[in-house]
Amino acid sequence: MTYQNIVILTGAGISAESGLSTFRDEGGLWAKHRIEDVATPEAFIKNPDLVQGFYNARRRQLQDVTPNGAHLALAKLEKEHSGPVTIITQNVDDLHERALSHNVIHMHGELSKVRCTQCGRVQLWLGDCTQDKACSACGKSPALRPYIVWFGELPYYMDRIHGLLGQCDLFISIGTSGTVYPAAGFVADVQKAGYAHTLEINLEPSAGISYFAEARFGKAGDLVPVLVDELLGK
C-alpha cells in the first residue's frame, strides 16, 4: 500500500529518548509539578515567577539534548516522500526542527518563543524570561509570557489542523498517551473522514487505541526508522 498525504501527530514520547521528560510516565513532569501551579493562566496571574521559572528550566534543558533517530527518520520521510508530510506536534521542544523537518505545526506552542500579553507579538527567546524583561515591540513590562498553550486555553492552528486531518490518507500517532484533547480526538476525526489508514506507535496502548487500525508497541527510536523505510519502499 502506498500513501500520498501523510499526517503525523507527535507527543512527549518521541522526545523521551533524547532525554526530555514525558508528562504522565512514572517520574514525568506532572508527577513533579502540579498543573494548576505552572500550566494554567490562573497560575501565571497568581505566581508569574514560579511559572516563568518552570519554563526557563525546560528552555535551558533544550541546550543539552539532541534529536534522536525517530526525529531524524521523520525528517528523512519529509525529504524523500513524493507527497506532503506534515507533523502536528504537541511538543514544545524544537527537536523536529533541529532534525530538519520543515513542515511542523506546534499546536501547544514553543519553548523557544515568548508572547507579549500587551501587544500580542510573538518573539524568539532563547534565554531565561523574567517579569522585568520588556517586550521588544511595545516596550512594556511585565508583559512577556511563555508561548505555551496552558490548560483552559485553545491550541493553535486548529482550522489548519482540521483541514489536514480531513485530507490525509495516512495518519500516524507517535509517543502520545491520547489523554489531552483536542489532539486525543484527532484519530477519531480521521476515522470519521473515512479513507485514511491509522497507525499508533507508542510504548504501550494509548487511551485512543481502539480508534487505530494498526498499532506497533516499542520505542519510537527503534520503530519510526523502520516504518519510514517501509513507507519509502526501502
Catalytic machinery residues: 108
Q: Interface with ligand OAD includes 208 (CB under 6 A)?
A: no
Q: Interface with ligand OAD includes 215 (CB under 6 A)?
A: no
Cα–Cα distance for residue pair 9/174, rounded to 1 Å = 6
Q: Interface with ligand OAD includes 203 (CB under 6 A)?
A: yes
CA gyration radius, the chain = 18
Cell numbers describing residue 173 = 500517532
Q: How far is the CB of 218 from ligand OAD (least distance, A)?
A: 7
Residue 203 has a CB neighbour count (10 Å cut-off) of: 16
Interface with ligand OAD by CB under 6 A: which range of 113-121, 135-143, 177-185, 189-197? 177-185
Q: How far is the CB of 192 from ligand OAD (least distance, A)?
A: 21
Going 58 to 62 to 66 to 69, the CA torsion angle's sign is positive
Q: Which is nearer to ligand OAD, 86 or 202 (CB)?
A: 202
Per-position x/- string for 87-126, each x denoting binding to ligand OAD as judged by CB under 6 A, each - no binding = ---x-----------------x------------------
The end-to-end CA distance of the chain, in Å, is 14
Per-position x/- string for 19-58, each x denoting binding to ligand OAD as judged by CB under 6 A, each - no binding = ---xxxx--x----------x-------------------
- By CB under 6 A, name the one of 18, 56, 86, 176 that touches ligand OAD: 176
Residue type, 72: L
85: β partners: 6
Q: How far is CA 91 from the centre of its chain?
A: 2
Q: Which of residues 132-161 bind ligand OAD (CB under 6 A)?
A: 149
Are 21 and 27 within 8 A, CB to CB?
yes
Interface with ligand OAD by CB under 6 A: which range of 55-63, 111-119, 131-139, 197-205? 197-205
148: β partners: 109
Cα–Cα distance for residue pair 99/169, rounded to 1 Å = 24
Q: What angle is formed at CA 179 by the lines to CA 201 and CA 83, rounded to 5 degrees?
A: 45
Q: Which is nearer to ligand OAD, 12 or 135 (CB)?
A: 12
Chain positions contacting ligand OAD, by CB under 6 A: 11-13, 16-17, 22-25, 28, 39, 90, 108, 149, 175-177, 179-180, 202-204, 206, 219-220
